[in-house]
Amino acid sequence: MIEKVKAACAFLRERIPSSPESAVILGSGLGFFADSLEGRTVISYEEIPNWPLSTAPGHGGRLVYGRLGDRDVLVMQGRVHYYEGYPMEQVVFPVRVLGEFGVKNLVITNASGGVDTALSPGDIVLLEDHINFMGANPLRGPDTPGWNDRFPDMTRCYDEEFTAAFEAAAAAEGVPVRRGVYFAFSGPSFETPAEIRMARTLGATVVGMSTVPEAITANAMGLRVCALSCVANAAAGMTMNTLTGQEVLDEMAKTSEKLIRLLNRFFKEMR
Ligand code: HPA
């Protein structure tokens, strides 16, 4: 795998003129943020050697490099999920490449279901922790010396300073945010009401089908990670509604404007 990562990295070095310290992964229906970068270089995922291609609706397939304020940023417009059938090492391949490319800071975004009864669609939750209920860990497999510890600490997976910086950005933008715990199911079926009650009992604030593999891998590689979860719907059993993927995308289209403002301010004020 490390050779495949190095090949992707070598390709990106030819196309990208600098070595950005920060990267963003955009979740379902949140792709518009990449349009706010200046001086963009757009690379289709198909061009990058070994890069997994997303089959999920609402996920573009482009890596966008550009400037935000005076900072260079790499933005992943679209990701692959475990539920698409990719093995975990493929799901986190892009994170491996970003780390190898020299990225130090990773902002992960996602769409989620609200488990906490106080949440409504459109709310934004900054992850302070997660519960990995996917039944798989992206670091499973032969140990690759030099890549990450065999047993990486997960006590501070989500960087406190970045999370506080997002809170400050949110206050300045007048966007309410709160902190919470993300509970990851593998999907692709939505959860049952009983599963949501279980998740709530176990301390979940939101549920989703992404982010955790990426956060584990980035944390293990020594990147500073923070994650913003955009609540698309009340989780299963909390309303009379049936859940659809389309509803998630429609809600995200509405939330993306707020999220873009937060990301812009965060990067412009980042020290
Ligand atoms: N469950 C899991 N993933 C999701 C949901 C949900 O309710 N909404 C958006 N992504």
**pLDDT per residue as tens digits for the range 57-116:** 655 699 999 998 788 999 999 899 999 999 999 999 999 999 999 999 999 999 999 999
CA–centroid distance, residue 235 to ligand 1 (Å): 7
Judging by beta carbons within 10 Å of its beta carbon (0-12, 13-18, 19+), is residue 246 exposed, middle or buried?
exposed
Cβ neighbors of 43 (< 8 A, separation 6 or more) are 12, 15, 16, 62, 63, 64, 65
Q: What is the DSSP string of 203-248?
A: T-SEEESSSHHHHHHHHHTT-EEEEEEEEEEEPTTSSSPPP-HHHH
Rounded to whole angstroms, how far apart are CA atoms 110 and 124?
10
**Which residue has the least CA distance to atom 2 on ligand 1?**
208
More confident residue, 188 or 247: 188
Domains of the chain: 2-269 (3.40.50.1580)
Residue 254 has a pLDDT of 83
How many A from CA of 114 to the centre of ligand 1?
Answer: 8
Question: What pLDDT, on the 0 to 100 scale, is given for residue 17?
Answer: 86
pLDDT at position 55 is 73
Confidence of residue 249 (pLDDT cuts 50, 70, 90): confident
Residues with C-beta less than 6 Å from any ligand 1 atom:
111-113, 190-191, 207-209, 232-233, 235, 243, 248
- Average pLDDT of 255-259? 89
Distance CA 271, CA 269 (A): 6
Protein residue with least CA distance to atom 5, ligand 1: 113
Supply the pLDDT for residue 60.
Answer: 66
- pLDDT value for 56: 65
The mean-pLDDT minimum among 28-37, 170-179, 207-216 falls in 28-37
- Report the phi/psi class of residue 96: left, alpha or beta, with left for phi > 0 and alpha for psi in -120 to 50: alpha
Sign of CA dihedral 254, 255, 259, 262: positive
Beta-carbon contacts of residue 125 (< 8 Å; ≥ 6 apart): 112, 119, 177, 178, 179, 180, 182, 205, 206, 228, 229, 231
DSSP codes of every residue in 54-82: P-STT---EEEEEEETTEEEEEEE----G
Q: How far is the CA of 197 from the centre of ligand 1 (A)?
A: 14
At 180-231, the pLDDT tens digits run 999 999 999 999 999 999 999 999 999 999 999 999 999 999 999 999 999 9
Q: What are phi and psi of 225, to 5 degrees?
A: -120, 140
Nearby residues of 28 by Cβ (< 8 Å), 6 or more positions away:
56, 57, 58, 59, 110, 111, 232, 248, 249, 252
Q: What is the DSSP letter of 95?
A: H
Mean residue pLDDT across the chain = 93
Q: What is the pLDDT of residue 57?
A: 64
Q: Which protein residue has the closest C-alpha to ligand 1 atom 9?
A: 112
Tell me the β-bridge partners of 41.
65
Q: Between β-strands 177-184 and 206-208, what pairing exists: parallel, antiparallel or unpaired?
A: parallel
Q: Quote the pLDDT of residue 30.
A: 78
The answer to whether 231 touches 115, Cβ cutoff 8 Å, is no
Q: Could you count the other beta carbons within 10 Å of the beta carbon of residue 43?
A: 18
Q: Which atom of ligand 1 is nearest to the CA of 248?
A: 9
